[in-house]
Amino acid sequence: MSYSAAVADQDARYYRTDPGTRPSEENGCRVKGLIVNTEKTIIAPATPPGEGGLAVVRLSGPSSEELLRRFFKPSGKFPSLDSHRLYHGHLVDANGSLIDEVMAVIMRSPRTFTREDVAEIHCHGGPLIVQQILDLFIDAGAILAQPGEFTLRAFLNGRIDLAQAEAVADLIHARSVSAQRVALNQLQGKLSQIIRIYHRQVVDLLALVEAHIDFLEEDISPPQPDVLCRSAEDIIEAIEDLIAGFNSGRMIHDGLRILLAGKPNVGKSSLLNCLLGESRAIVSPSAGTTRDIIEESLLLHDLPVRLIDTAGIRHTDDSVEQEGVRRAREKAGSADLVLLLINADQHPDQDDLLALDSCRDQKLLLVINKQDLSPSVQLSSPWSDYPRVFISAKYRQNIDGLIEAVRDLAGLSGGADSSESVMLYERRHYQSLLQAKSCLQRFISGCRAGFGFELLALDLRDTLRAIGLITGETTPDQVLDRIFSRFCIGK
Q: Which residues are annotated as a binding site for (6S)-5-formyl-5,6,7,8-tetrahydrofolate?
A: 58, 120, 159, 491
Q: Considering only the top CATH level, what class is 177-245+424-472?
A: mainly alpha
Binding positions for GTP: 265-270, 284-290, 309-312
Q: Cα–Cα distance between 188 and 160 in angstroms, integer?
A: 9
Q: Please tell me the predicted confidence (pLDDT) of residue 4.
A: 44
What gap in Å lies between CA 430 and CA 172, rounded to an integer?
21
Stretches in the chain below the pLDDT threshold 50: 1-27, 30-34, 282-284, 286-291, 416, 418
Q: Distance (Å, rounded) from C-alpha 261 to C-alpha 3? A: 51
User: CATH 3.30.1360.120 residue ranges in the chain?
Assistant: 3-145
pLDDT at 15: 33
pLDDT of residue 335: 86
- Residue 315 · residue 341 · CB < 8 Å: no
- Annotated binding-site members for Mg(2+): 269, 290
d(C-alpha 367, C-alpha 346), whole Å: 13
Q: What is the pLDDT of residue 462?
A: 96
Question: What per-residue confidence (pLDDT) applies to 94?
Answer: 93
User: Residue 251 CB: number of other CB atoms within 10 A?
Assistant: 24
Start and end residues for every CATH 3.40.50.300 domain found in the chain: 253-409
Q: Which superfamily is assigned to 3-145 in CATH? A: Probable tRNA modification gtpase trme; domain 1 (3.30.1360.120)
Q: Does the reported pTM lie above 0.75?
A: yes
Q: Given the DSSP bridges, would you call strands 15-17 and 34-36 parallel, antiparallel or unpaired?
A: antiparallel
> What pLDDT, on a 0 to 100 scale, did the predictor assign at position 5?
46
Residue 173's closest CA among 114, 252, 257? Answer: 252
The second-level CATH assignment, the architecture, of 253-409 is: 3-Layer(aba) Sandwich (3.40)
Which residues line the annotated binding site?
Answer: 58, 120, 159, 265-270, 284-290, 309-312, 491
Q: Is the peptide bond before 382 cis (omega within 30 degrees of 0)?
A: yes
Q: What is the per-residue pLDDT for 446?
A: 94
With b for 16 or more beta-carbon neighbours within 10 A and e for fewer, the 299-319 pattern comes to ebebbbbbbbbbbbbbebeee
